[in-house]
Amino acid sequence: MKKILFALPFLFAILLVACDASVDDKQPGASVTVDELTNSFQLVARSEGNNNITVKLSPVRYVKVYSADNDALLAEGTNPTFQVTPPTTELDVYITAINQDGSITKSSTKSITVSEYTDLPAIYEQIFGLENGEYGTTKWTWDDTLTRYWGNGGWGSDTTPSWWGAPDGADINEECEGKGLPNDGIGAWFSLSLTGVQTSRGETGSVKVTEEQLVAGWGVGTMTFSGTVPLLGVLPNDGNQRCYTYQIISADGDHLVLAAQTLSNSSEGWFFCYKRIE
């Protein structure tokens, strides 16, 4: 009996350690390797050659999907999808995953070939133009047919700059000069195409257009720039910082109205009204 009593505290201590979740939780998990991450995903088209792509993951984990050409984020999630737009016929992508220790693993690159384009936003034709079944390049400048083609107004409600702006309440050339874009005044332009953005100030970049509405029921889509901005694309009440994402308020092929939300005042938006010149 004495021997049994002596052993009981020792056994009890073992059981406590085995059942202590805090001990188990502190054991570090192994980070996913490059090869493991690369082997865990496949690029699956909706049908052979289709431009609508799903990233199939096994095992399922949260990842970010990037274009290997320019490191642009294409999608993220546990079942991410993205769309390849013309004129791209082959796309190289990679994915990243965050490990338990906070480090990031980047996969090797995988490629997919596209020969069929479906479900492209209908607004593409108004933004990029369409000739002989091909999207082209459109060139835009300030819409001087309007009394006010730049300025502020109500975010989520107005469709033009109803509060204040140029040219009726301010000089557009002076505004551009004061906001660090002196070459964006009268006569300035920018062009849009699926292959890139050109500006009269000499900058180049790219643009992404979707039918996503930043405010439900207001506008027809979203335009996101990378590398450059449209004419006077800054937020005046946020230190004139550049703005890269805009709500497309309207687009009819000849006129384009964009709006950007003020960061420091969510009820205010800045409106940019352009007309097509080519």
CATH number for domain 124-276, candidates 2.40.128, 2.40.50, 3.30.70, 2.60.120: 2.40.128
pLDDT over threshold 70, residue 3: no
For 76-97, give one letter per residue: b (16+ CB within 10 A) or e: eeeebebbbbeeeeebebbbeb
**What is the arithmetic mean of pLDDT over 255-277?**
98
Q: What is the mean pLDDT of the chain?
A: 90
What 3-state DSSP class applies to 257? strand
What's this model's pTM, rounded to 2 decimal places?
A: 0.74
| Angle value at C-alpha 248, between 242 and 253, nearest 5 degrees | 120
> Residue 264: its pLDDT value, please?
97
Q: Above pLDDT 70, what percent of the chain? A: 90
> Residue 29: its pLDDT value, please?
62
Which tens digit of pLDDT belongs to each residue from 39-56? 999 999 999 999 999 999
CATH number for the segment(s) 34-113: 2.60.40.10
Which tens digit of pLDDT belongs to each residue from 107-158? 999 999 999 999 999 999 999 999 888 899 999 999 999 999 999 999 999 9
Among 123, 143, 140, 149, residue whose Cα is nearest residue 270: 149
> Residue 147: its pLDDT value, please?
96
Q: List phi, psi (to 5°) of 245.
A: -120, 130
pLDDT over threshold 80, residue 22: no
pLDDT band at 9 (very low <50, low <70, confident <90, very high): very low
pLDDT band at 66 (very low <50, low <70, confident <90, very high): very high
Asked if the domains at 34-113 and 124-276 fall in one CATH topology, the answer is no
> Residue 11: its pLDDT value, please?
42
What residues form DSSP beta bridges with 105?
97
- What does the domain layout of the chain look like in residue ranges? 34-113, 124-276
Give the list of residues 6+ apart from residue 69 with CB closer than 8 angstroms, or none.
91, 92
**What is the arithmetic mean of pLDDT over 244-264?**
98
Strands annotated E in 136-267: 137-142, 148-154, 164-167, 190-193, 196-199, 204-210, 221-226, 234-235, 241-242, 245-251, 255-261
User: Which has more pLDDT, 36 or 85?
Assistant: 36
Residue 7 is encoded by which pair of tokens?
A: 């052993």
Which tens digit of pLDDT belongs to each residue from 156-214? 999 999 999 999 999 999 999 999 999 999 999 999 999 899 999 999 999 989 999 98
